[in-house]
Amino acid sequence: MNLYLDTSVIISACRSSTGAARLVCDAAGINQWRLLASPYGLAELERHLDAFTEEARSAWRALRMKIQVVEDIIVFDKPLVFLKTKDRPILLAAATWAEVLLTHDRSDFHRRLGRSFYELRIRTPSEFIDEMRAAAAFLTPQP
């Protein structure tokens, strides 16, 4: 399964070793999930790195090795009414390359789009983990 990581999720995974975002990233390999991000999203992340602690920077270096970079998408072949210009490239890349967009940005994604955008599911990391556990499709990584 392809999971597109919004910048908010990557930042969260780097800053907290015990949160749901980190658990998704740590469990990706054992669950055969591909972690995806696009150059647009990674550029947004780069603007936040100065505020990272050294521990968070170290976590980012490790996480970066697990993320596959996919192309940014600027043209979409389906109708799109999404006024949040800065988030449109994230949404289009996720819809093109992934089954699930993981984001903490409830106001811009959840409230405007709901829980899906065409076939793309939009979830927080904790919602995604809960769904996978409920479907008995979640393996917990061993420390």
* pLDDT given for residue 127 in this prediction: 93
Rounded to 5 degrees, what are φ and ψ at 76?
A: -120, 145
| Average pLDDT score, the chain | 87
CATH architecture of 2-134: 3-Layer(aba) Sandwich (3.40)
pLDDT(14) > 90:
yes
* pLDDT given for residue 78 in this prediction: 63
| Averaged pLDDT for residues 12-40 | 96
Over the stretch 75-108, which tens digit does the pLDDT of each residue have?
A: 666 656 655 566 888 989 999 999 999 999 865 6
Which band of pLDDT confidence, cut at 50, 70 and 90, is reported for residue 141? confident
Which band of pLDDT confidence, cut at 50, 70 and 90, is reported for residue 73? confident
Number of H-type helices and E-type strands within the chain: 7, 6
pLDDT(110) > 60:
no
Task: Report d(CA 9, CA 103) in Å as an integer.
Answer: 6
* pLDDT given for residue 70 in this prediction: 97
Q: Which residue has the higher pLDDT, 67 or 91?
A: 67
User: Positive or negative, the Cα torsion across 112, 63, 71, 50?
Assistant: positive
